[in-house]
C-alpha cells in the first residue's frame, strides 16, 4: 500500500507512524512545504521516502493533514490528479468548508472527510507520537458520498490504528467541536494573556503558579498557524460558544458582587458533574 | 515532635505523610470534624493517632488545613489553648483575612501564615500524596511577626519536605494568587458549565471531547466547600481578574466578528510565550 501524507506535523506524522506499524507492506511518502520537516520525518522514521505532488496518481491512500485553510485548495488539486482507485482523506478540525469546497468535484467519491480527535499542544514532525489514536474517536462526515470500496479501505486503516468511528454531518460536527475543542483553546489562550499582561510589571507572579494553572493554560501553547484558520472557518459557532462562556463568567462575577456565595457554591457543585464526563473521556483515551 | 494536623484533606494529609517520613521521631495526631476522615487517615497511615482539640497544649506543631472560612475562628481558638512553645501554621489559600483575624492575639508570635502552592483537583484523606510538596513554592506572610525559634522550626520542616520559600505580604499574596490560581479555577468551572449546558440536549457532544478539553476543564472537579470561601475572602482581587479575563475574551470575540484574523494570529503568538513560563513551573515541579 502506497500512502502519501501531505503535512508532516503532529497529526499526519502520528498517522504515518501507526500506519507503517499496522500495515507492514506499506510505503509512506511524505510531502511538506517545509524542507526541514521532510528531513526530520525521514530521520525519525515517520516516512520512508519524500513524495512529490505530481506522483499522487500512484497512491493508494493520500492523507491531507495541513492547516484547514490550506486544505481547501490543496484537496481540490489533489483530487484533480489522482487515479480512480485512490482514497483521499482530509483530517482537519473543521468539516463544513472542506466538504463544501469539493462537493461538485468529479472525484468526490474518492474523498473521505474525517476528524481524528487526538493531539497535544505541540506541532511539527517531532511532536508525532506512536499510538496517539488508540481508543480515540474519529468523526467521519458524509460517509455516503465516498465510494464503498474506499470507505472500506479507510475503515480498515482507522480500525487497525485503534480508533472508534462516529458518523456525523459536517454542520453538527463543526457546531459540537466548537464547544468541546475550539472554546477550550480560546479560554486557555485568554487566560494566558490575562496573566501575562499582569506579569509584565510583576515578574514574581509566576513563582506562585502551580500545576493547576499549568493544566488550564496548556492549550495556549498551541500553534497560531493551525488555529487561526480553524477559528476563521468555524467563526459563527465559535462566536456562539464564546458568547455563552462570557455570559457565564459575567453571571459568576455578578453573583460575587452580590455576595451570593450560596449560589456560587451551587454553580460549582453542579459543574462538578464534569467528573463523570471526564472519567468517560479518560477511560476511552 | 508532636504534630497535630487539623483538617485531613489533600493538603493536611500530604503534609502529614511527608513530615512523618522526614522526622522519624514525630507522632502525627489527626483532627477532623468528619469521623470518616479520621478513620481513613488512620487506615492509610497518614496519622498515627486521633487527636483532640483540648490536648493542643502538648503539641510542638499544629497545622491548620481547613477551608479558609473555618480557619478564621478556629485559628483564634487554637491560639487560645496552646503552650508557649507551640508553632501554629495555617496553610490556607488566602492570607489577608487570616492574618488580620489574629493580629492582636496575645499568642500572635506562635503563628505562621503559609501557603504551600501544591495540590490536585481531588479532596479528602484519599487524595493525600507523598512528596506533593517537593520542589514547590511555599509563600510565607508576615514572617517577622512569628517568634524566631518557631520560624526556624517551620523552615526546617518546609526545607526537609523539599519546598522553596518566598516571603510576601498578605495583600500581595492575595492579589497575585487571584491571577495564577483563583482565576484558573473560575475559567475552568465556567468552561465546564458552558459545555454541560449544551450537553443537556445533545449528549453525543462528549464523545467528541479530547484530552485538550479534559486538561482545560480539570479544575472544575475541585471542591465547592473549599473554593467558595476562598472566592469570598478574596472577592475584590478575584473580581478584578475576572473583569480583565472577560475583557480579553470580548476583545477576541470582536476581532473574530471583524474578521481580523491577522490580529487573532498575533494574540495567540504573543500568548505562546506562556511556553517558557510553564517550562519554568514544570522544571520546578
pLDDT tens digits, B51-96:
999 999 999 999 999 999 999 999 999 999 999 999 999 999 999 9
Give pLDDT tens digits for B150-163.
999 999 999 999 99
**Closest Cα in chain A, distance from residue B228 (Å):** 6
What whole-number distance in Å separates Cα of residue B3 and Cα of residue B26? 7
The predicted structure's pLDDT at residue B198: 81
Read off the pLDDT band of A285 (50, 70, 90): very low
Q: What average pLDDT does the segment A79-101 reach?
A: 98
Q: What average pLDDT does the segment B15-23 reach?
A: 98
Q: What average pLDDT does the segment B231-253 reach?
A: 97
Closest CA in chain A for residue B220? A272
Q: What average pLDDT does the segment A122-131 reach?
A: 95
Lowest mean pLDDT among A76-85, A273-282, B54-63, B104-113: A273-282
Read off the pLDDT band of A248 (50, 70, 90): very high
> Among residues B244, B208, B185, B212, which one has the least CA distance to residue A227?
B212
CA distances from A76 to B65, B90, B239 (A): 62, 65, 50
Task: Tell the burial category of A117 from Cβ atoms under 10 Å away from its Cβ (0-12, 13-18, 19+).
Answer: buried
Give pLDDT tens digits for B214-224.
899 999 999 99
The predicted structure's pLDDT at residue A201: 59
Read off the pLDDT band of B128 (50, 70, 90): very high
The predicted structure's pLDDT at residue B64: 98
Q: Which three cell numbers stand for residue B38?
A: 479520621
Read off the pLDDT band of A282 (50, 70, 90): low
The DSSP code for B169 is: -
Q: How many CA atoms lie within 13 A of B281 on its CB side?
A: 22
Question: What is the rounded average pLDDT for all residues in chain A?
Answer: 94
Cβ atoms < 10 Å from Cβ of A161:
23
> Strand, helix or coil at B166?
strand
Determine contact, residues B65/B118, Cβ cutoff 8 Å: no
**Residue B45, Ramachandran bin (φ over 0: left; ψ between -120 and 50: alpha; else beta):** left
pLDDT > 70 in chain A, percent: 95
Residue B140 predicted with pLDDT over 80 = yes
What fold characterizes domain B2-169? Rossmann fold (3.40.50)
A214:B249 CB<8 A: no
Q: For CA atoms B182, B184, B185, B190, give the dihedral sign.
A: positive
Q: What average pLDDT does the segment B34-61 reach?
A: 97
Regarding beta strands A27-31 and A49-50, do their DSSP bridges make them parallel or antiparallel, or are they unpaired?
A: parallel
Q: Which residue among B212, B222, B228 places its CB closest to the CB of A261?
A: B228
Q: What is the CATH number of domain A2-170?
A: 3.40.50.720
Phi, psi of A182 (to 5 degrees): -65, -45
| Residue of B124, B190, B269, B273 to mutate, interface with A, max A Cβ within 10 Å | B190
A252:B186 CB<8 A: yes
Determine contact, residues A90/A66, Cβ cutoff 8 Å: no
Give pLDDT tens digits for A172-209.
999 999 999 999 999 999 999 999 888 665 566 777 88
Mapping DSSP onto H, E and C, the string for chain A reads CEEEEECCCHHHHHHHHHHHHHCCCCEEEEECCCHHHHHHHHHCCCCCEECCHHHHHHCCEEEECCCHHHHHHHHHHHHHHCCCCCEEEECCCCCHHHHHHCCCCCCHHHEEEEEECCCCCCCCHHHCCCCCCCCCEEEEECHHHCCHHHHHHHHHHHHHCCCEEEEECHHHHHHHHHHHHHHHHHHHHHHHHHHHHHHCCCHHHHHHCCHHHHHHCHHHHCCHHHHHHHHHHCHHHHHHHHHHHHHHHHHHHHHHHCCCHHHHHHHHHHHCCHHHHHHHHHHHC
User: Residue B115 is inside which H or E element, if any?
Assistant: strand B111-116
**Closest Cα in chain A, distance from residue B15 (Å):** 17
What whole-number distance in Å separates Cα of residue A127 and Cα of residue A110? 29
Residue A35 predicted with pLDDT over 80 = yes
What fold characterizes domain A173-284? 6-phosphogluconate dehydrogenase C-terminal fold (1.10.3660)
CB-CB neighbors (< 8 A) of A207 in chain B: 137, 166
Determine contact, residues A18/A47, Cβ cutoff 8 Å: no
Q: What average pLDDT does the segment B128-132 reach?
A: 96
Read off the pLDDT band of B210 (50, 70, 90): confident
pLDDT > 70 in chain B, percent: 95
The domain segmentation of chain B, as residue ranges, is: 2-169, 173-284
Phi, psi of B201 (to 5 degrees): -95, -25
What whole-number distance in Å separates Cα of residue A227 and Cα of residue A187? 13
What whole-number distance in Å separates Cα of residue B72 and Cα of residue B96? 11
The predicted structure's pLDDT at residue A203: 61
CB-CB neighbors (< 8 A) of B281 in chain A: 206, 209-211, 213-214
What whole-number distance in Å separates Cα of residue B171 and Cα of residue A182? 36
CB-CB neighbors (< 8 A) of A249 in chain B: 186-187, 190, 242, 245-246, 249
Residue B16 predicted with pLDDT over 70 = yes
CA distances from B235 to A264, B112, B238 (A): 12, 23, 5
Q: Give the ranges where chain B is alpha helix by DSSP (H).
A: 10-22, 35-43, 68-81, 96-101, 148-160, 170-177, 183-199, 211-216, 224-233, 235-257, 261-271, 274-284
Amino acid at each position: 500500500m502506497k500512502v502519501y501524507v501531505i503535512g508532516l506535523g503532529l497529526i499526519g506524522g502520528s498517522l504515518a507512524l501507526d500506519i507503517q506499524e499496522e500495515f507492514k507492506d506499506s510505503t509512506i511518502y511524505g510531502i511538506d512545504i517545509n524542507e526541514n520537516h521532510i528531513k526530520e520525518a525521514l530521520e525519525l522514521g515517520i516516512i520512508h521516502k519524500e513524495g512529490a505532488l505530481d506522483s499522487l496518481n500512484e497512491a493508494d491512500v493520500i492523507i491531507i493533514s495541513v492547516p484547514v485553510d490550506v486544505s481547501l485548495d490543496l484537496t481540490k488539486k489533489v483530487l484533480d490528479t489522482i487515479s480512480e482507485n485512490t482514497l483521499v482523506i482530509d483530517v482537519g478540525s473543521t468539516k463544513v468548508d472542506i466538504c463544501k469546497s469539493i462537493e461538485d468535484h468529479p472525484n468526490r467519491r474518492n474523498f473521505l472527510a474525517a476528524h481524528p480527535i487526538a493531539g497535544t499542544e505541540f506541532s511539527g514532525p517531532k511532536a508525532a507520537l506512536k499510538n496517539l489514536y488508540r481508543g480515540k474517536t474519529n468523526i467521519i462526515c458524509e460517509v455516503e458520498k465516498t465510494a464503498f470500496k474506499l470507505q472500506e479501505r479507510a475503515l480498515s486503516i482507522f480500525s487497525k490504528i485503534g480508533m472508534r468511528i462516529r458518523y456525523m454531518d459536517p454542520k453538527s460536527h463543526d457546531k459540537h467541536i466548537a464547544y468541546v475543542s475550539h472554546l477550550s483553546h480560546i479560554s486557555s489562550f485568554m487566560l494566558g494573556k490575562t496573566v501575562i499582561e499582569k506579569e509584565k510589571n510583576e515578574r514574581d507572579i509566576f513563582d506562585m503558579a502551580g500545576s493547576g494553572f499549568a493544566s488550564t493554560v496548556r492549550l495556549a501553547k498551541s500553534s497560531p498557524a493551525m488555529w487561526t484558520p480553524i477559528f476563521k472557518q468555524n467563526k459563527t459557532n465559535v462566536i456562539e460558544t464564546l458568547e455563552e462562556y462570557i455570559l457565564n463568567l459575567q453571571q459568576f462575577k455578578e453573583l460575587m458582587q452580590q455576595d451570593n456565595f450560596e449560589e456560587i457554591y451551587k454553580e460549582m457543585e453542579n459543574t462538578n458533574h464534569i467528573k463523570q464526563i471526564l472519567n468517560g473521556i479518560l477511560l476511552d483515551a
